[in-house]
Amino acid sequence: MSTLHQNSTPHTGNGTGNGTGTDAESGSGTGGAPGGRTGSQWLRGPYWVAARMHRGTLQWAAGLIALCLVLLIAIRVWGGGVTGGYWTDNSMVENAASLIMLLPYLIAAFVAGPLVARELESGSHQLLWTQSVHPVRWFAAKLAVPTALAVVASVVLDGVYRWVWTAVPHQDPTLDWYPESVYHAIGPTGIATALLAVPVGALTGLLVRRTVPAIVTSLVASVVVFRLFDDLRSHLWPVVTVRTGLAEGYPAMNGMVTAEGAVTRSGAHVADPMCVDDTKCQAAHNLAGYFRSSHPVSHFWPLQLVETGILLALAAVLTLVVFRIVKRTAA
């Protein structure tokens, strides 16, 4: 907590600490590059302090992102798209998508625990909120750190992953566009999900106010929220339904299959009674054919854009709730 108190001194404007309050606000503190420029040139005031307080986490995050990029590029350059076996190129691309999926959960846990709940649990927020910077502005500066991390990490990782994914043959269904991990890694929903993780973690930290329970609760909340979107995804855009006769069997369709079954003579869709070629069974169930509903590949962008919009809208609503709680707590 001594580091936290030392880093909060630039806000007091009393000339103590590593720089005066004016220096912290202007980004022109003593020491640094020629011409008076320092590392705070782009991050000023509370934003610079918040970034400095968590510079260790940011350095670790940068290292992990760099490692992921090296692995993805290695798969793209030296991979041959060979199928069969667990440690094939296809399996490595699939596993890479699963690792990228962990990003929103890590962000939510970091925001809930070390960023928010730890200050509330230790009581250090009371000192910080008595400085010249308004509590709402200080909290906004703190959330700017994981928000920037979420945007940069997801944009870079998703962009490189899509570059790798396009080079791998997609005979393996797990590498098609619609499995959950791949779906988020090749479109804007991955970025929106990472952004949503920030207010989810912040809200959890504000409500729980204890570091470890806040981390656990944020992970549980993230699983619930993100799983809900995965379950609702197929309903965000009208499906394409194809019907065939009994002799033809099920229609061959590529893409995200959402429903299939039998069609009665009245046109109703029912569960397949598994009559196969048994004409008596087909007659007993009044069957006329089969149907299959799915989202073809042409639905990828409509689904992505609709879901991204909903994710960002929810993130905005939760952010407003978070700042209302902060404002009420600081009053």
For 150, half-sphere exposure in the C-beta direction (CA atoms, 13 angstrom radius) is 28
Model confidence band, residue 277 (pLDDT cutoffs 50, 70, 90): confident
Q: Is the pLDDT of residue 124 over 70?
A: no
CA 51, 73, 170, 83: dihedral to nearest 10 degrees?
A: -130
At 82 the three-state DSSP class reads coil
Return the ∠ at Cα 9 (arms to 8 and 15), rounded to 5°.
160
What average pLDDT does the segment 105-126 reach? 85
For 167, half-sphere exposure in the C-beta direction (CA atoms, 13 angstrom radius) is 17
At 243 the three-state DSSP class reads strand
Least confident of 135-139, 211-215, 260-264, 289-293: 135-139
The chain-wide mean pLDDT, for the chain, equals 81
Q: Is the pLDDT of residue 327 over 50?
A: yes
Question: 220: Cβ–Cβ under 8 A, 6 or more apart, which residues?
Answer: none
Q: Can you give the pLDDT at residue 100?
A: 92
Give 290's strand partners.
244, 262
At 191 the three-state DSSP class reads helix
298-311: pLDDT as tens digits: 999 999 999 999 99
Model confidence band, residue 261 (pLDDT cutoffs 50, 70, 90): very high
Least confident of 76-90, 135-149, 173-187: 76-90
Of the two residues 176 and 214, the one the predictor is more confident about is 214
Q: Is the pLDDT of residue 125 over 70?
A: no
Q: Can you give the pLDDT at residue 265?
A: 92
Q: Can you give the pLDDT at residue 79?
A: 64
What average pLDDT does the segment 96-122 reach? 90
Model confidence band, residue 171 (pLDDT cutoffs 50, 70, 90): low
What average pLDDT does the segment 26-41 reach? 45
Of the two residues 20 and 41, the one the predictor is more confident about is 41
For 260, half-sphere exposure in the C-beta direction (CA atoms, 13 angstrom radius) is 13
Q: Is the pLDDT of residue 132 over 50?
A: yes
Dump the DSSP string for 33-60: SGGG--TTSSS-THHHHHHHHTHHHHHH
The pTM (predicted TM-score) of the whole model is 0.79
% of the chain residues with pLDDT over 70:
78
What average pLDDT does the segment 37-49 reach? 60
Least confident of 169-173, 220-224, 251-255: 169-173
Least confident of 88-92, 123-127, 297-301: 123-127
Q: Is the pLDDT of residue 36 over 50?
A: no
Q: Which long-range contacts (CB under 8 A, 24 or more apart) does 48-53 make?
A: 48/10, 48/24, 49/7, 49/8, 49/10, 49/11, 49/24, 49/141, 50/138, 50/141, 50/142, 50/144, 50/145, 51/145, 52/7, 53/3, 53/4, 53/7
* Spatial separation of the C-alpha atoms in residues 277 and 261, rounded to whole Å: 15
